[in-house]
Structure 1
Amino acid sequence: MDVILVPLFTVILIALKIYWYVVLATVIFSWLLAFGVINTYNQAVRTIGDVLARLTEPALRPIRRIMPDFGPVDLSPIALWLLILFVQMVMENLLRAVMTL
């Protein structure tokens, strides 16, 4: 059983860590865009923004619907980070439990 579960949990943990960094890149990109450091007239910038939005919006949209509106401040990435960290902790505990069997 652990022959299947250990690699599966490991892959899920790696995917969660990568997604955490994707959300971080989205936040940094939005800050750079808001402060005028980069603009969407550049095709590469527009493409990067589109890819980041397509990767993160499906997870952020339900959180934005639940959270109250704080005006121009979007706290949904922080909530998503906390959710990812919680799932990572649960997965790590499950991985430890499976490895001790």
Structure 2
Amino acid sequence: MLSLFQILMLVLDIVWFFIIAHVIMSWLINFQVLNLHQQLVGQIWYFLNRMLEPVYGPVRRILPNMGGVDLAPLVVLIGVYAARIILANNISAFY
């Protein structure tokens, strides 16, 4: 059962990394440091969008309209961190 705990923590770490990468890329694209017309940048950007949009979509429907500010990644990051805390505090259930 400890393996299940470690796998769940790994999945949460990967999700955390994808969200952070998506946020940083969105900033770099908006400040025109990165260009979506570059093939590699475009592929990474569209991959991250396809991976994270199913997670962001329900959160965006719940959050009020903030006038162009997207708080969905922040809410999802808080949710991932909360899930890590819950798993770490209940590690005894995995033994």
Q: Is the TM-score greater than 0.5? A: yes
TM-score, normalization by structure 2: 0.93
Q: How many residues align?
A: 95
Q: Distance in 1 between matches of 2:75 and 2:69?
A: 13
- Aligned-residue Cα RMSD (Å) equals 1.1
Map of 2:21 onto structure 1:
25
1:54 matched to 2:45? The reply is no
Deviation of the 1:18 alpha carbon:
1.4
Provide the secondary structure at the position in 2 that maps to 1:90: helix
Please identify runs of 4+ aligned residues in structure 1 that moved more than 3 A: 96-99
CA positional deviation for 1:96: 3.2
Higher Rg of the two aligned structures: 1
Stretches of structure 2 that go unaligned for 5 or more consecutive residues are none
CA contact (8 A) 2:34 2:41 kept: yes
